[in-house]
Structures are given as C-alpha cells and as structure tokens.
Structure 1
C-alpha cells in the first residue's frame, strides 16, 4: 500500500463527484466509473486503492488522548479542546467532525462493493478485495458508533434525496452488523502480505477489531475465543518498547493494523505537534500529571503503595521504563539537552511560546528526532492495532468472566516484561477486583497516545472520576543544565479546568451541518438541537 495505494487513488479523483450539500452523498455516478472502469483486475485494484485512501488519519489517533485524562490539547482550533473540557457543541466552529469523513469513506466502500462483481478477474482475488472493502466499511461504523452512538446504517450508495431523509439505526444493530461483517470476512483475508502489499487488511486485523468491539460491548466469551484465534496467527511482541514506534522498525510482527505513510508523497505530517518550540514543534498535546502518576515503580508497586520507593523530590526515578519511553519530563536528557520546562529563563518554559502547558511532552513516535529529515514530513506509519492490545484484551475478558488462570497472568506478564517490568505479584493481584485494577492500569500506560484511553473511560463509565476538575502538570523548580538534577520546590502547574456531564459527554454532538440537512438525525442527549 505504501508504494501504490495513494498514487493510484488520484486516478479515481476524477471519478468521484463534487461534494454535495449532504456529506452522505458520495456516490460516483459518471458513466466512466460504472462502465469502463471495471474492465480488468488492475482497474478493480485502482478502485480499491481509492477506497483505502483516507480510511483513517494519524491526527485523529494522536488527539484522542486529549479527550481523556491522559492529555490536554492547548490549541482550541485543533478541534479537541472543547471535547476534552466538556464545552463541545454541535455548532462549534473548531469542533472535530468525524461524521462526514466516515460517511465519505463508507460511500466509497459501498460504491466499490456494488460494482466490482462485474470485473472479469480471478474470483478468489475478487473475494479478497471485497473483504478488504468490507473491513474498511466496518471500521467506519465501529468508529461512528463509538463516538456518536446511534447512526445511519447503509450498505448501498445513496442519492442526495435518500441521504437527506435517512434515519438513524440503533447502536446495538450497527455494532452487530460490524461484528457479523468482521467474522464473515476474516477467513477470506490473508494472514500476511509481502512486497508492495504490506499494510493491506489482514485476517488478524479483522479478528482484532472484532475482539476489540466484543470487549467494548462486554461480549467476553466471544472476545476470549476471538483473541485466541488471533494469538494462533503468529504475531509476537517487538523486543523493545521504546523502539517499537520508530520508523526503522515499522511493519514488525507486533503490528496488526496501521495507517501507511510515505514522506513527500503521502506524509505523516503531524508529529511536529508533540515536541516543544526549541525542538521545532508546537507542544500541542500535553501529557497530564495524572498520566505520569499512573506509571508504577520499576519494582511493580504503584507510587501510592507503602514502601514503593517513590520520592516526591525525585518523582521520575526508578519508574516503569514506559514512562521515560513515552513522556519527556523535567530533567530528562532529550535530543542532547536536559529538558527544562520549569524555569522561566528556559526556552521550553511551560508558560511561554509553543511549549507544553503541563511541562510534559509526548515522546512516543518522536523519541529520536534524528530519525526524520523533517518532522512535519515523515513516512512513519501510525499503528492502529498491535499484538500487545490483543494480549491485554484477552486478559481483561478472562478477568471479567472470573476465569483468572495462568494464561491471564502470562498475557499480562508478556507485555510487562517486554517493557522491563517485573511479572505480576500474584499474592497482591489475585482476585477479580485487584486484577481489574491492574489490567486497566496496564492498558493506560502501555497505550498512552495510541487513541484508546477515551474509549476505555467510556466503556468503564469512569468519566466523572477521571475527567472532572483541574488538569495538572509538573511541579516547578530548577533543572541543573549539566546533570539534569531536579530541585522541585513549587506547586504543580494548572493547565485547564474541566467539567463532565455523564448524561451527555460520553457521546459527541452530531455536527450541526448534518442535522440542518437531515432533520431525521436528531441530536445526541444533552446537546442543543
């Protein structure tokens, strides 16, 4: 895909119609697209490449943490600040619209699936291509239901008139459609690809999205079965957590699904939002103190436990190695200097320029800026699903069914030990309550900045506990420029104050431009019509 998908998509641009008033109406209708295009396998592949284009975006994955207690998005025009602090509205000019891109992608999938059967080509290959398109459509419906709840479900291209009156389908029905689709197409997809096809949808991707949705909808028995099927496909954890996210290690055996990029042609152009101004970035996404505090000590104890070894004066010492791999904190050696956001005379001072307002920077994906000639124009793929998630999904599903056996500990231990952490202390983490706490914390620190935390908050219904109140960052003090030694003497900085309405904020508002066109859509609870 990286070598051909996005180049061939431009062949299709002329086949797609101009944008209609309603963004559900994306049906390519001109004569060439429906008669001349489908004359060979190459034509069908070109059409499928167009379906792949824009199926997801790294920007959306990175910024999802800002809706959770993991991060703060300081620039409201980037679309996620209001969603994070509880002030989102349907007509927010800077709000994030995932609705229209999703339905644009769905319409392309429906167009492909309605037309590809006329292509004279190998039937097995055609079946595989249809399975890829069905996955991409299912992924959009998965995303829509997670964000908006009830949404219109259509499996055919729509005319403008149809799109303007379509009704919503219940979330349970749409989610069942997604699960049924993923289960049906999994056997029709290859386990892996080689050469130019690396990055296309695999059997593991279909099963992994299925397991994720089964976990999210509390179908734990099904989730266990699906996870076991994935675990038999040959995936493995990459040897180094810190290096897993570097460009030279992409497409490794841990990656199950990712968004493929290539510098210059189809670049990943959003990594610059993470470093602060002295590193050439914007400091847009700011990790929170709450996230930093969630990492255990390297002996496996939380910082709140007695005799854990945690020192408030040296809060970053002897911590889970994933902390220093994922977050740049005061006094850490980063890009040749000791990072200092806590003194006003520093170029990285939290209250100046394009710098993090919590004093913390995300380091995942940007651990080595020398990996890129231009941080705003990179070829780094964005991981959507990786094998560590499957292991923790399996463990959580088993915990929720009360079947806490050796396989549960083995799955969690594999993730922890890869990161340099000790195995789970089975005398401390023995029952369902303790194990639930452990696996939830493990998910948080393992997947920071990977777009999963908000969906966990949503399904665990812990929004009022973790998304309400002030957002804190690092303590102020001094950083020795020669050694990085810290002298912390001030209070924690405050980045933002948030509210959370449990009757409203688990769902996003449907964009006003959509409800203005189609009155049948209504609006999600708690938001103005």
Structure 2
C-alpha cells in the first residue's frame, strides 16, 4: 500500500470535521457518483484505499504516551498536555478529539456498496473484511477513550446523525470481537508486493486478543494469542533496529501505518517532534524520570533493590539496553555528539528553546537521525501492533488466569533475551503477585512510547498512583563534552504537577460541540 492511491473524496465522509456532521452522506466531489464508481475492481480498490486513509496516525501513537506517566507534551497546542495533567474539559480547545466517525462512515459506505462491483467473490470478501477491521479498530479507540459510544454500522442521513444515542461499551466491545473473529477466517496470513501493509489475519487476531485482555477475558485472549503464534511471526533480532526505516515490514510487525516520504498523507509523521533544538527538532515529547526509573539494571534487578548495583550519581550505567534504545539521556552519544541537557549554555539545555523540559528525548523512532535526510518529511512506517505485544498479552492472560508454566517464562525470556537482558529469575518471580509486577514492568519498558501505556494505566486502575503529583526529569549537573561523563550535583527537574480524579479521568470528555449538535449523547461523569 506504500504507493500513490486514488482517494474517493466523499464530502461528509472524508471531510475532517469534529462533529456529528461527519456522518452526512452527500454527493462525491471528484467526478465519481455512487452509480459509476462500482464498475471495476480498480475503482473498488481505490474506494477501499480511502477507508485506509488516516485510520490511525503516527501523531496519535506518539502523543498517547503523554497522557500517561511515560512522557510529557510541553506544547499545549499539540492538544495532549491537558489530558495528561488532569485539566482537560469538554470545551477546552487544546484537547484533542478522538470522537471521530470519519473512518467508520467511510467503511460503512464501502461495505454497503462494494457488492455492486463486478469483481471476484474472494476479492470482494477480502476487501469487505479489511473495511470491517478498520471500523472495528476505530470502535476500539472510541470505547477505550470514551466508554459508551454510538454503535453505527450503516450510512446515516443528516437527520439520523443528529439523533444517534450511546450504546453500552460492553455491547460495542462484543461487536468488535465478533467482527474480528469473523474476518480472521477470511483474511490472508500475509501479502506481497504493493499489498504489504493491508490488514491480515494476524492483525485481526492480535487486535482481538488486545481487546480481550483489556476486558479481562483471559481465556479468549490466550486462545487468540496462540493462533497468532502459529502464523509464523517472530521477534526481530535487534531491538534498536526494529524501528529503523531499512527494516520496515519485518517478521515482528503485525500491523503498521504505512507512510511514504514527501507525500501529502505523510504530514502527520514528523520525526522532528522528537529531537530538541540542538538536533534541529523541537522536543514536543519528553520521556519522564518515571519511565527511566522503570528500566532494570543489566543484571535483571530493579534499581530499588540494594543488591542491584544502582548508583544514583551514575544512574545510566549498567542499565537494561532498552533504556538507551528508547531514551536519549545525559551523556549518551547520539547523532554524532554527546547529548547534554544539564550544563548551562549547552545547545540542548533543558530550559531553553525547543529543548526537552525533562532533559530526556525520545529515541525509539529515530535511533539514528542519519536515517532521515529530512526529519520533517519521512517515510517511516509506525508500528501499531507487533509480536512482542502478543507475547506479553499471552503471559499476562496466563498469569491472571492463575496459570504459571514454562510457556509464560518462555514468552518473557524471548523478549528479555532479544533486548540483551537475563532470563527471568524463577526463584524471585514464582507466583501471581511477583509475576504480575514483572509483566507490567516488561510491558512498560518494552512497549514504551508506542501509545499503549495509558490503556494499561486505565485497565489496571492505577491512575491515582502514577499520574498525579510532580512530573520529574533528570537531575542537574554537568556533562563532559569530550568523554560524556555525567556529574550530577543538583535535584531532579520538576516539569509539571498533575492531578488525577479517579471518578473522572479514566475517560475523556465528549467534546461539547458534539453534544451541542446531539443532546442525546450526554457527557461522561465529572465533565
């Protein structure tokens, strides 16, 4: 799919507005009509390509971790900061809206009409299954963020759009899992050539396992994970290189957002939001000290273990290699120079310009800036689901079911060994409570900055513990520009102070402008 695509621009279907008018069904604006469109397979494929457009964005993947304790968004106009610090309201113009039915409406339209096209039944079935997945994925996001939402599975008239009401979350989630189970039976295991990037059986089963895990349907999650494990996926050998453009579509990638450099649909995908001004970027997202502290020592012990060897004055030495793969920290060699956010006068000093206010930068998606001749217009695909998540889902579902066997340890060992970490210590992690802690930590450090941490906080109901109070950054001091030696003499940077209301903040506010259009929607509690 990484090629030029003809998008079928239906006004009210593709128009990116934030209100219920997204549902409107008006006439096409590019010369097609609904009568003339469905005459060839190529036209139907182009219509399906329109459904793929913006089904998910790199912006959402990047910024969702700023709603968690992993990252901080320093620019309020990027529209995630207030969601992260607990000050969001339903009328706040600086709160992103994911209350978005554009993709859902496009998919409903496609599903209702593709039967008219004179194409082979197997192609028609597959095309329909792809559209059903994209619709299910959007309902996954809607229900995670807003709870009860309207379940719409057909085109709506203007009148109908203004009268839809919310469907209970449980009913929408059943729709999602039923859809994914059905389409997994007809989707191919993989694609070749220009079709790489389309929805596969593995994507449907993996998303289903994610939803089942989140909904504590552990037995079903285990079964779907086993099905994915049988499809031939595996861990890419090098954790750092997994996220480089030369290794796109590798054996670990189950689902990703396909991009192509310098094309219009690539405007959301800007690596430049990650580095600071000293590297030509603007550090819109900054990892937190909390995330840094989550990484174990290289010997497999946590930093609060007196036997770990952790030195608070030399905190970056001897750590889990995934820390350096995901986060640029003081003294790290990055893009040809030593990163220094803590020495006054440095190009990357934490309190100046477009620099990181925590002193940490996101490295995961840009491990080597030399990969990107123009960091503002790259073609890097952004992974949405990868095999490591499936292994972690399997391990968690097993443990939460009370089953601790070698398959659980093997799943965790595979992930840890790939990262250069020791095997799980069976003597330490030998019961549900200890393994639960390990698995939750592994999810955090392995999947860091990939947009999933907030959903874990939400489903584990730990928001009051991890997303309130001060957001800390690195300690201050100096960095030797030649050797990279870090001398820490000051306190931790305090970047922000957050509040968290458990009765409100596990869900996002329904945008007030949606309620103004349709009073029947109602508002989430506390907003």
> TM-score category by the smaller chain?
over 0.9
Q: 1:341 to 1:281 in 2, by over 3 A?
A: same
CA distance in 2, matches of 1:28, 1:362: 43
Structure 2 partner of 1:449: 449
Q: 1:110 to 1:13 in 2, by over 3 A?
A: closer
Structure 1 partner of 2:468: 468
Contact 1:19–1:26, Cα closer than 8 Å, also in 2: no
Deviation at 1:32, TM superposition (A): 4.2
Structure 2 partner of 1:208: 206
CA distance in 1, matches of 2:292, 2:174: 37
CA distance in 2, matches of 1:225, 1:110: 29
Deviation at 1:203, TM superposition (A): 0.3
CA distance in 2, matches of 1:233, 1:514: 42
CA distance in 2, matches of 1:518, 1:71: 34
Q: Is 1:84–2:87 an aligned residue pair?
A: no
Structure 2 partner of 1:229: 227
Deviation per residue, 1:356-387 (Å, 9 max, x gap): 00000010011111101100000000000000
Structure 2 partner of 1:432: 432
Structure 1 partner of 2:283: 283
Structure 1 partner of 2:48: 48
Contact 1:395–1:412, Cα closer than 8 Å, also in 2: yes
Structure 2 partner of 1:311: 311
CA distance in 1, matches of 2:15, 2:341: 48
Deviation per residue, 1:48-72 (Å, 9 max, x gap): 0111111010000100010101011
CA distance in 2, matches of 1:48, 1:67: 32
CA distance in 2, matches of 1:449, 1:62: 6
Where do residues 395-410 of structure 1 align in structure 2 (5 Å cutoff)? 395-410=395-410
Deviation at 1:28, TM superposition (A): 4.6
Structure 1 partner of 2:96: 96
Where do residues 241-320 of structure 1 align in structure 2 (5 Å cutoff)? 241-265=239-263, 266-267=265-266, 269-320=269-320
Contact 2:473–2:493, Cα closer than 8 Å, also in 1: yes
Contact 2:13–2:22, Cα closer than 8 Å, also in 1: no
CA distance in 2, matches of 1:41, 1:395: 43
TM-score normalised over the length of structure 2: 0.97
Where do residues 347-426 of structure 1 align in structure 2 (5 Å cutoff)? 347-426=347-426
CA distance in 2, matches of 1:309, 1:115: 64
CA distance in 1, matches of 2:45, 2:339: 48
CA distance in 1, matches of 2:389, 2:105: 30
CA distance in 1, matches of 2:453, 2:191: 30
Deviation at 1:345, TM superposition (A): 1.1
Structure 1 partner of 2:175: 177
Deviation at 1:486, TM superposition (A): 1.0
CA distance in 2, matches of 1:121, 1:228: 34
Q: 1:169 to 1:410 in 2, by over 3 A?
A: same
Choose the corresponding residue for 1:113, options 111, 114, 123.
111
Q: 1:154 to 1:356 in 2, by over 3 A?
A: same
Give the gaps of 5 or more residues in structure 2. none
Deviation per residue, 1:292-347 (Å, 9 max, x gap): 00000000000001210101111000000000000000011111111110011111
Deviation at 1:15, TM superposition (A): 9.5
Choose the corresponding residue for 1:147, options 145, 148, 153.
145
CA distance in 1, matches of 2:25, 2:204: 26
Q: State the secondary structure of the residue aligned to 1:410.
A: helix
Contact 1:27–1:108, Cα closer than 8 Å, also in 2: no
Contact 2:16–2:102, Cα closer than 8 Å, also in 1: no
Contact 1:191–1:203, Cα closer than 8 Å, also in 2: yes
Choose the corresponding residue for 2:132, options 134, 139, 160.
134
Deviation at 1:34, TM superposition (A): 1.7
Structure 1 partner of 2:73: 73
Q: 1:489 to 1:401 in 2, by over 3 A?
A: same
Deviation per residue, 1:466-513 (Å, 9 max, x gap): 001000000000101110001101000000000000000000000111
Give the gaps of 5 or more residues in structure 1. none
Deviation at 1:14, TM superposition (A): 7.1
Q: State the secondary structure of the residue aligned to 1:23.
A: helix
CA distance in 2, matches of 1:334, 1:121: 52
Higher mean C-alpha deviation, range 361-370 or range 23-32:
23-32
RMSD: 1.3
CA distance in 1, matches of 2:21, 2:170: 24
Q: 1:174 to 1:17 in 2, by over 3 A?
A: closer
Contact 1:26–1:104, Cα closer than 8 Å, also in 2: no
CA distance in 2, matches of 1:327, 1:119: 49
Contact 1:330–1:340, Cα closer than 8 Å, also in 2: yes
CA distance in 1, matches of 2:16, 2:200: 31
